[in-house]
Amino acid sequence: MNRIDSRFQELAQAGKTAFIPYITAGDPTLDVTMEVVLALEKAGADIIELGVPFSDPIADGVVNQEAAQRALLHHVTLHDVVAMVSKLREKTAIPLVLFTYYNPVLAYGHEAFARDAAGAGVDGVLCVDLPPEESRDYRRLLHDFGIATIYLIAPTSTEERIRIIAEASTGFIYYVSRTGVTGVRQDIESSVGDMVQAIKRYSDTPIAVGFGISTPEQAREVAGYADGVIVGSAIVRQIGEQGADPSMPGAVGAFAKTLVDATKGL
């Protein structure tokens, strides 16, 4: 069983919600990213999303765009991120998801990417700009290698789109809590809970909610109706502000712990 499936199964049996932090791989360096991953796991993260740096991250707000740019200045590639995951597997078994755009995957080659990612220990891939209708070969290969394919559902998705995306998604479904790009928000849209319930009519796959969640209060609210809470920009911003400060991974872990506790109802 895929590590993502196992983790959600364990959480469901315990009546708990998954906490899923997002960070940009290679910001400030790949070695520091590994330290942050381990700090997030120690803080109680259940699954970790690793953003693959890309030059035109159209789904990302300023904070994540700047993080990707910092990583690209160090020439971090998808190959480098896959190699980093292989090194991480010497130290942790936490489920890891690559959050990427399609261009790096296409350049890598579907089969080579699926083979190398599986060999490194990647558990899932979320390819932001690749719709299910255009991804049959990609999905088949990832599934053959035991890697989950995660897709986004937006507030504007029609029932037919929800059905198509839900059927194509494995591991979990990522529900975007609001229209627009990633980034810290003051409030969670009141419609999010209803949309999560609507998606559940089409699939038993766990639903994680992201885009804009940044405080323990927001995490606690979303945990009341979702299977997973995703926090990205608030963590990425802290990494960017502290940079290569040796204390940064510990500080990020301490911040994440407040979000973990809220997600778990502690």
Which residue numbers are catalytic? 49, 60
Tell me whether the omega of the peptide bond preceding residue 155 falls within 30 degrees of 0, making it cis: no
Q: What is the dihedral of CA 114, 118, 124, 125, to 10 degrees?
A: -30
d(CA 249, CA 52): 19
> H or E stretch including 102?
helix 102-108
Query: Which residue is it, tokens 């990583």?
Result: 71
CA angle 9, 94, 252 (to 5 degrees): 115
d(CA 162, CA 160): 5
- Spatial strand order of the sheet with 152-153 comes to 148-150, 124-127, 96-100, 48-51, 18-24, 228-231, 207-210, 173-176, 152-153
Q: Which residue type is seen at 24?
A: T
Task: Characterize the bridge pairing of strands 228-231 and 207-210.
Answer: parallel
